[in-house]
Amino acid sequence: MRLRVNNVPLWLDEPQSALAKKAAQKLGVSPEALAQVRVVRQVLDARKKNHPRTIYTLEVELAAGKQPATLPVDVSEVEPDAPAPGPVRRAPQQRPIIVGMGPAGLFCALALAERGVKSLLLERGKDVIERRKDVAKLMRDGTLLPESNMNFGEGGAGAYTDGKLSTRINHPLVKKVISTFARYGAPQQILVDGKPHIGSDLLPFAVEAMRKDLVALGVEVRFGARVEDLLYRDGLVAGVKLADGTTVDSDRVVLAPGNSARELYERFAADGRVLVEAKPFAIGFRAEHPQALINALQYGEKVAGDARLPPADYKLAENLAVDGDVRGVYSFCMCPGGIVVPTPTEDGMQCTNGMSNSRRNAKFANAGIVVSVSVEDFARAGFTGPLAGLAFQRHWEQQAYELGGGKYFAPSQSIPDYLAGRVSKPPSGTTYRPGLAQVDLNRLFPAWLTASLKQALRAFDRQMKGFLTSQGTLIGIEARTSAPVRVTRNEALQSVSVKGLYPAGEGCGYAGGIVSSGLDGIRIAEQICAELDAVGQG
């Protein structure tokens, strides 16, 4: 008998060997009745300052005849895993085309290949290892390659911006996405961590291993293959046209281009055949603090330097009313022990993100501090139509670039100076390269957006006293929290206007990170396989 035992706590000074005894006590059996004890999840609980603990979920196997008479409320029997489905009943007449090799595209290709469906993967950028050189050059001296950067290339935007696998989605496929990364070489610890994280130093190698396996399974991969347009026939998708003028035929195209595929958004809006709509997102700054300060604020002064504790993170959120409008302001993509990086894809536009390596051992922590913006907000700023969000996004990226003085220098200001509307001393330190330009960030964004950010920063300091410090720096701007466009789709996960086109992942407005994007790619693969099975039955 296998049981899932939840909420088993260990204080910092308690050894992990005590877990078996605590699980036995919860079950009302002797420790000898447990044939096996396995950790399946662990979450650090630091809500009580200076007294952190870890909460474990355990899977235990009981010896024969040792089952408890009744199960406590937080204990359940482990259901056996469902068997993996076999090959599809009918192979497609044309192989599916998958546009983009971020998580949505890669996991879609893998899920199809596991059912015997071979696809063609098209990626506008370079392979994930070669791409590293271009990412480093952008960080070193501000040289941007439009087709190979933090956003474009194998692995997508997440490959070189942290590799966090945490998600708020409660879906059975979350486990599949995380276990797949572990299968391809990511640290096994991600299988149990409540906030799994691979790191930008290790994730590229897992992506490379996945791609090599896909090729071995019969998937064709093409790099430097930017899709410029779709092909159509009688209201159906008929393939893709590449930037070099070549075409590839297929009656199924999975569109997973990532949230910076601006040329495709513009093509669809101009052509009108693929229905797209403006989508809300969030915009703001990166906030950077010394990691030691965040540790002290989150853990307490007495234990902040304890080597047994990981670099502390935080999650802050407020719903605030400004001029009668209630909008959310929240921390985004928090990177403990990380660095702030430039993430533009077009010349003359400045935007940033954060990343951490697997050890998270940098001296600073950073997170996006962003405010939600709506379609109505775009209209208030003078932008309308399906690309209103994209125009809004571009406008502020251009303003940030000019305010920073060019070459992807980031406009920056200490948090107290931003709140006071003054420019005084530069920050004591930063991880951002190419460098910071000390300016008044109040010159960016509409007044209502600035007011929301300022009100939220003061509220965050009440949640996390000490957040508003001269050691904290705001770095501009965080603009690509998600896609500003949604390619609308129906319950069959196909475009509402073009049959055979499957909008996928973050780039089409259906995900918000590595795990949710990978999950969406799997769902589309399952839908395609279900359609093939239905034809096979007929």
Give a three-class secondary structure readout of 313-374: CCCCEEEEEECCEEEEEEEEEEECCCEEEECCCCCCCCCEEEECCCCCCCCEEEEEEEEEEC
Write the single-letter amino acid at 369.
I
Residues 11, 60 contacting (CB under 8 angstroms): no
* Ranges for all domains in the chain classified under CATH 3.30.70.2700: 2-77
Cβ within 8 Å of residue 81, ≥6 positions away: none
pTM: 0.96
Write the single-letter amino acid at 256.
A
* Ranges for all domains in the chain classified under CATH 3.50.50.60: 97-276+484-537
Task: Give the three-class secondary structure for 530.
Answer: helix
Specify the pLDDT at position 536.
63
Specify the pLDDT at position 52.
96
State the CATH architecture for 97-276+484-537.
3-Layer(bba) Sandwich (3.50)
One digit per residue, pLDDT tens: the chain, 538 residues? 799 999 999 999 999 999 999 999 999 999 999 999 999 999 999 999 999 999 999 999 999 888 888 898 999 999 888 888 999 999 999 999 999 999 999 999 999 999 999 999 999 999 999 999 999 999 988 899 999 999 999 999 999 887 899 888 889 899 999 999 999 999 999 999 999 999 999 999 999 999 999 999 999 999 999 999 999 999 899 999 999 999 999 999 999 999 999 999 999 999 999 999 999 999 999 999 999 999 999 999 999 999 999 999 999 999 988 888 889 999 999 999 999 999 999 999 999 999 999 999 999 999 999 999 999 999 999 999 999 999 999 999 999 999 999 999 999 999 999 999 999 877 778 999 989 999 999 999 999 999 999 999 999 999 999 999 999 999 999 999 999 999 999 999 999 999 999 999 999 999 999 999 999 999 999 999 999 999 866 5
Counting Cα atoms < 13 Å in the Cβ hemisphere of 276 gives 31
Q: Residue 226: name the closest of 207, 214, 240, 212 by CA.
A: 240
Element (H, E) at 109: helix 103-114
CATH assignment of 2-77, among 3.40.720.10, 3.30.70.2700, 3.40.50.300, 3.30.300.30: 3.30.70.2700
What the block records as the tokens of 367 is 């997170």
H-state helical runs in 405-499: 415-420, 447-463
Specify the pLDDT at position 66.
84
Q: Residue 4: name the closest of 43, 41, 35 by CA.
A: 41
Specify the pLDDT at position 418.
97
Element (H, E) at 503: strand 501-503
